[in-house]
Protein backbone atom coordinates (compact mmCIF):
# COMPACT_ATOMS: atom_id res chain seq x y z
CA UNK A 1 0.00 0.00 0.00
CA UNK A 2 1.22 3.55 -0.67
CA UNK A 3 2.38 5.62 2.27
CA UNK A 4 -0.67 7.30 3.84
CA UNK A 5 -0.75 11.11 3.75
CA UNK A 6 -2.78 13.60 5.71
CA UNK A 7 -5.25 16.30 4.63
CA UNK A 8 -5.15 18.49 2.51
CA UNK A 9 -3.67 15.81 0.25
CA UNK A 10 -7.09 14.81 -1.24
CA UNK A 11 -7.52 18.29 -2.74
CA UNK A 12 -4.04 18.05 -4.28
CA UNK A 13 -4.92 14.62 -5.70
CA UNK A 14 -8.04 16.15 -7.24
CA UNK A 15 -6.09 19.04 -8.76
CA UNK A 16 -3.43 16.82 -10.34
CA UNK A 17 -6.03 14.35 -11.61
CA UNK A 18 -8.17 17.16 -13.02
CA UNK A 19 -5.56 19.58 -14.37
CA UNK A 20 -2.33 17.58 -14.61
CA UNK A 21 -0.57 19.85 -12.11
CA UNK A 22 -0.95 21.88 -8.94
CA UNK A 23 0.93 24.67 -7.16
CA UNK A 24 1.47 24.02 -3.45
CA UNK A 25 2.44 26.88 -1.15
CA UNK A 26 5.03 26.40 1.58
CA UNK A 27 2.29 26.77 4.21
CA UNK A 28 0.64 23.64 2.80
CA UNK A 29 3.76 21.73 1.79
CA UNK A 30 5.61 21.95 5.09
CA UNK A 31 2.99 20.10 7.19
CA UNK A 32 2.56 17.56 4.40
CA UNK A 33 6.27 16.83 4.44
CA UNK A 34 6.36 16.71 8.22
CA UNK A 35 3.57 14.13 8.13
CA UNK A 36 5.94 11.97 6.07
CA UNK A 37 9.09 12.52 8.14
CA UNK A 38 11.46 15.08 9.58
CA UNK A 39 13.26 18.12 8.18
CA UNK A 40 15.86 18.27 10.94
CA UNK A 41 18.78 18.83 8.57
CA UNK A 42 17.02 21.38 6.35
CA UNK A 43 19.55 24.16 7.05
CA UNK A 44 22.48 21.91 6.04
CA UNK A 45 20.48 20.55 3.10
CA UNK A 46 19.84 24.07 1.76
CA UNK A 47 23.48 25.05 2.31
CA UNK A 48 24.62 22.12 0.15
CA UNK A 49 23.48 24.11 -2.91
CA UNK A 50 26.59 26.26 -2.30
CA UNK A 51 28.69 23.21 -3.19
CA UNK A 52 27.14 22.18 -6.51
CA UNK A 53 29.41 21.51 -9.46
CA UNK A 54 29.06 23.21 -12.84
CA UNK A 55 26.86 21.70 -15.55
CA UNK A 56 29.49 21.12 -18.25
CA UNK A 57 26.92 20.27 -20.89
CA UNK A 58 25.22 23.66 -20.73
CA UNK A 59 28.54 25.47 -20.35
CA UNK A 60 29.59 24.01 -23.69
CA UNK A 61 26.62 25.82 -25.27
CA UNK A 62 27.37 29.19 -23.68
CA UNK A 63 24.98 28.75 -20.76
CA UNK A 64 25.76 28.14 -17.12
CA UNK A 65 24.14 26.47 -14.13
CA UNK A 66 25.24 24.25 -11.25
CA UNK A 67 23.81 20.86 -10.32
CA UNK A 68 24.19 17.49 -8.62
CA UNK A 69 22.25 14.30 -9.33
CA UNK A 70 21.27 11.04 -7.64
CA UNK A 71 19.10 8.04 -8.51
CA UNK A 72 16.89 6.00 -6.19
CA UNK A 73 14.56 3.02 -6.42
CA UNK A 74 11.23 3.47 -4.66
CA UNK A 75 8.61 0.83 -4.06
CA UNK A 76 4.96 1.60 -3.50
CA UNK A 77 5.14 -0.23 -0.15
CA UNK A 78 7.31 2.65 1.08
CA UNK A 79 10.92 1.45 0.78
CA UNK A 80 13.37 3.85 -0.90
CA UNK A 81 16.95 2.88 -1.74
CA UNK A 82 19.83 4.92 -3.12
CA UNK A 83 21.01 3.40 -6.42
CA UNK A 84 24.58 3.33 -7.76
CA UNK A 85 25.61 6.61 -9.36
CA UNK A 86 24.60 6.68 -13.01
CA UNK A 87 24.09 9.15 -15.86
CA UNK A 88 21.00 11.20 -16.55
CA UNK A 89 19.52 10.42 -19.98
CA UNK A 90 16.67 11.97 -21.97
CA UNK A 91 15.77 11.31 -25.57
CA UNK A 92 15.66 14.10 -28.14
CA UNK A 93 11.88 13.78 -28.03
CA UNK A 94 11.94 15.34 -24.56
CA UNK A 95 15.10 17.43 -24.66
CA UNK A 96 15.93 18.89 -28.07
CA UNK A 97 18.90 20.76 -26.56
CA UNK A 98 20.69 17.86 -24.85
CA UNK A 99 18.85 14.70 -25.76
CA UNK A 100 20.24 11.28 -26.69
CA UNK A 101 23.42 11.68 -24.63
CA UNK A 102 24.42 10.27 -21.26
CA UNK A 103 25.04 13.20 -18.96
CA UNK A 104 27.18 12.55 -15.90
CA UNK A 105 26.92 15.03 -13.03
CA UNK A 106 28.58 15.10 -9.65
CA UNK A 107 26.61 12.94 -7.19
CA UNK A 108 24.55 14.46 -4.43
CA UNK A 109 26.67 14.46 -1.28
CA UNK A 110 26.09 11.23 0.71
CA UNK A 111 25.09 13.10 3.87
CA UNK A 112 22.39 14.92 1.89
CA UNK A 113 21.25 11.85 -0.11
CA UNK A 114 20.78 9.93 3.15
CA UNK A 115 19.68 12.89 5.25
CA UNK A 116 16.31 13.53 6.84
CA UNK A 117 15.08 16.28 4.49
CA UNK A 118 15.62 14.49 1.20
CA UNK A 119 14.32 11.18 2.58
CA UNK A 120 11.20 12.96 3.82
CA UNK A 121 10.65 14.61 0.44
CA UNK A 122 11.06 11.26 -1.33
CA UNK A 123 8.70 9.55 1.11
CA UNK A 124 6.06 12.20 0.45
CA UNK A 125 6.51 11.87 -3.32
CA UNK A 126 6.36 8.08 -3.16
CA UNK A 127 3.12 8.15 -1.23
CA UNK A 128 1.52 10.89 -3.32
CA UNK A 129 2.52 9.63 -6.76
CA UNK A 130 1.88 5.97 -5.92
CA UNK A 131 -1.63 6.92 -4.81
CA UNK A 132 -2.19 8.56 -8.19
CA UNK A 133 -0.90 5.52 -10.10
CA UNK A 134 -2.41 2.35 -8.68
CA UNK A 135 -0.76 -0.75 -10.06
CA UNK A 136 2.76 0.69 -10.18
CA UNK A 137 4.85 -1.26 -7.69
CA UNK A 138 8.30 0.21 -8.34
CA UNK A 139 9.68 3.57 -9.45
CA UNK A 140 12.89 4.83 -11.01
CA UNK A 141 13.52 8.09 -9.15
CA UNK A 142 15.94 10.82 -10.14
CA UNK A 143 16.83 13.76 -7.91
CA UNK A 144 18.40 16.93 -9.25
CA UNK A 145 19.83 19.85 -7.30
CA UNK A 146 19.85 22.96 -9.54
CA UNK A 147 21.29 26.41 -8.99
CA UNK A 148 20.53 28.93 -11.73
CA UNK A 149 22.79 31.97 -11.53
CA UNK A 150 22.03 35.37 -13.04
CA UNK A 151 24.39 38.23 -13.73
CA UNK A 152 23.96 41.83 -14.73
CA UNK A 153 23.29 41.77 -18.46
CA UNK A 154 23.01 37.96 -18.53
CA UNK A 155 19.80 36.31 -17.42
CA UNK A 156 19.78 32.83 -15.91
CA UNK A 157 17.75 30.18 -17.73
CA UNK A 158 16.04 27.59 -15.50
CA UNK A 159 14.69 25.74 -18.57
CA UNK A 160 16.93 26.56 -21.55
CA UNK A 161 15.15 23.84 -23.55
CA UNK A 162 11.92 25.89 -23.32
CA UNK A 163 8.49 24.55 -22.44
CA UNK A 164 8.92 20.79 -22.23
CA UNK A 165 8.04 17.46 -20.71
CA UNK A 166 10.65 15.38 -18.89
CA UNK A 167 9.66 11.97 -20.26
CA UNK A 168 8.65 10.60 -16.85
CA UNK A 169 5.38 10.01 -15.01
CA UNK A 170 5.49 12.61 -12.23
CA UNK A 171 7.60 15.61 -11.27
CA UNK A 172 8.08 17.57 -8.06
CA UNK A 173 9.73 20.99 -8.30
CA UNK A 174 10.50 22.41 -4.84
CA UNK A 175 12.06 25.79 -4.14
CA UNK A 176 14.99 25.74 -1.74
CA UNK A 177 16.12 29.36 -1.99
CA UNK A 178 16.00 32.42 -4.20
CA UNK A 179 18.32 35.36 -3.65
CA UNK A 180 18.34 38.72 -5.40
CA UNK A 181 16.37 37.54 -8.43
CA UNK A 182 13.32 38.67 -10.31
CA UNK A 183 10.91 36.51 -12.32
CA UNK A 184 11.35 32.72 -12.52
CA UNK A 185 7.67 32.19 -13.25
CA UNK A 186 6.56 28.63 -13.96
CA UNK A 187 4.08 28.27 -16.82
CA UNK A 188 2.02 25.18 -17.61
CA UNK A 189 0.74 24.42 -21.11
CA UNK A 190 -1.39 21.77 -22.76
CA UNK A 191 0.31 19.72 -25.51
CA UNK A 192 -1.35 22.01 -28.11
CA UNK A 193 0.25 25.06 -26.49
CA UNK A 194 -2.84 26.31 -24.67
CA UNK A 195 -1.81 28.04 -21.41
CA UNK A 196 -3.21 26.28 -18.34
CA UNK A 197 -1.73 28.35 -15.53
CA UNK A 198 1.32 30.07 -14.13
CA UNK A 199 2.81 30.73 -10.70
CA UNK A 200 6.09 31.79 -9.11
CA UNK A 201 7.91 29.80 -6.44
CA UNK A 202 8.95 32.51 -3.99
CA UNK A 203 9.34 30.88 -0.55
CA UNK A 204 11.36 27.83 0.50
CA UNK A 205 9.13 24.72 0.10
CA UNK A 206 6.82 26.34 -2.45
CA UNK A 207 6.30 23.47 -4.90
CA UNK A 208 4.77 22.26 -8.12
CA UNK A 209 3.41 18.73 -8.59
CA UNK A 210 3.17 17.74 -12.26
CA UNK A 211 1.74 14.76 -14.16
CA UNK A 212 4.33 14.87 -16.92
CA UNK A 213 2.55 12.97 -19.74
CA UNK A 214 -0.34 15.44 -19.67
CA UNK A 215 1.25 18.89 -19.57
CA UNK A 216 4.30 20.88 -20.62
CA UNK A 217 6.13 23.16 -18.19
CA UNK A 218 8.76 25.87 -18.40
CA UNK A 219 10.25 28.66 -16.28
CA UNK A 220 11.00 32.21 -17.37
CA UNK A 221 14.55 33.54 -17.18
CA UNK A 222 15.72 35.11 -13.93
CA UNK A 223 17.53 38.45 -13.62
CA UNK A 224 19.26 40.17 -10.68
CA UNK A 225 17.26 42.66 -8.64
CA UNK A 226 20.40 44.48 -7.52
CA UNK A 227 23.24 44.80 -10.02
CA UNK A 228 26.61 43.54 -8.93
CA UNK A 229 25.30 41.24 -6.18
CA UNK A 230 25.09 37.46 -6.28
CA UNK A 231 21.79 36.27 -7.71
CA UNK A 232 20.56 32.67 -7.80
CA UNK A 233 17.52 30.38 -7.81
CA UNK A 234 17.93 27.01 -6.03
CA UNK A 235 15.45 24.22 -6.70
CA UNK A 236 15.13 20.51 -6.08
CA UNK A 237 13.58 18.50 -8.90
CA UNK A 238 12.39 14.94 -8.25
CA UNK A 239 11.09 12.72 -11.06
CA UNK A 240 9.25 9.40 -10.77
CA UNK A 241 9.09 6.99 -13.69
CA UNK A 242 7.48 3.54 -13.49
CA UNK A 243 9.99 0.70 -13.72
CA UNK A 244 9.00 -2.23 -15.97
Find all residues with CB under 8 Å of 62, minimum gap 6, and list them: none
Whether residue 22 lies inside any domain: the answer is yes
Whether residue 17 is contained in a domain is answered as: yes
- Give the lowest-confidence range in 10-14, 65-69, 90-94, 117-121: 90-94
If you average pLDDT over residues 76-81, what whole number do you get? 91
Peptide bond into 98 cis (omega under 30): no
Contact, 42 vs 117, CB < 8 A? Answer: yes
pLDDT for 104 equals 81
pLDDT at residue 57 is higher than 90: no
3 within a domain of the structure (yes/no): no
Mean pLDDT in residue range 121-132: 95
Residue 80 located in a structural domain = yes
Q: What is the pLDDT of residue 107?
A: 95
Check residue 9 and give its pLDDT: 76
Q: Does residue 77 belong to any structural domain of this protein? A: yes
- Report yes or no on 185 lying in a domain: yes
Domain count, the chain: 1
- Burial of residue 18 (number of CB atoms within 10 Å: 0-12, 13-18, 19+): exposed
Q: What percent of the chain stands above pLDDT 70?
A: 86
Distance of CA 60 to the CA centre of its chain: 23
Instruction: Please compute the mean of the pLDDT values over residues 62-81 and round it to a whole number.
Output: 87
177-232 tens-digit pLDDT: 999 999 999 999 999 999 999 999 999 999 999 999 999 999 998 999 999 899 99
Residue 124 has pLDDT above 90, yes or no: yes
- Whether residue 155 is predicted with pLDDT greater than 80 in this model: the reply is no
Q: What is the mean pLDDT of the chain?
A: 87
Neighbours of 150 (CB within 10 A): 25
- For the chain, the maximum distance between any two Cα atoms, rounded to a whole number of angstroms, is 52
Asked if pLDDT for residue 161 goes beyond 90, the answer is no
- The boundaries of the domain holding residue 96 are 9-242
pLDDT at 100: 46
pLDDT at 139 over 80: yes
In this model, does residue 169 exceed pLDDT 60? yes
The alpha carbon dihedral of 120, 231, 50, 87 has a sign of positive
Question: Is residue 30 in a domain?
Answer: yes
CA 182, 178, 194, 22 torsion: positive or negative?
negative
pLDDT at 7 over 60: no
Please report, for the domain that includes residue 43, its CATH number.
2.60.120.620
| CA separation for the pair 193, 37 (Å, rounded) | 38
Task: Give 83-108 pLDDT, tens digit per residue.
Answer: 999 886 654 554 545 544 777 899 99
d(CA 77, CA 57): 36
Report yes or no on 2 lying in a domain: no
pLDDT tens-place string over residues 208-220: 999 999 999 999 9
Alpha-carbon Rg for the chain in angstroms: 17
pTM value surpassing 0.85: yes
Amino acid sequence: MPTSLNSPTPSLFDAVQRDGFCFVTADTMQPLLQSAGGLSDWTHFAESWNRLGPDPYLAAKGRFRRRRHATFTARANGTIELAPHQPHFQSLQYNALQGDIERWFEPIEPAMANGASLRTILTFCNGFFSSLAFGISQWHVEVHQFRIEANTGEAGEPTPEGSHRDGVDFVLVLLVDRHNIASGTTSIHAPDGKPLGDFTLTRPLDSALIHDPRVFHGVTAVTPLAAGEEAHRDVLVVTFRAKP
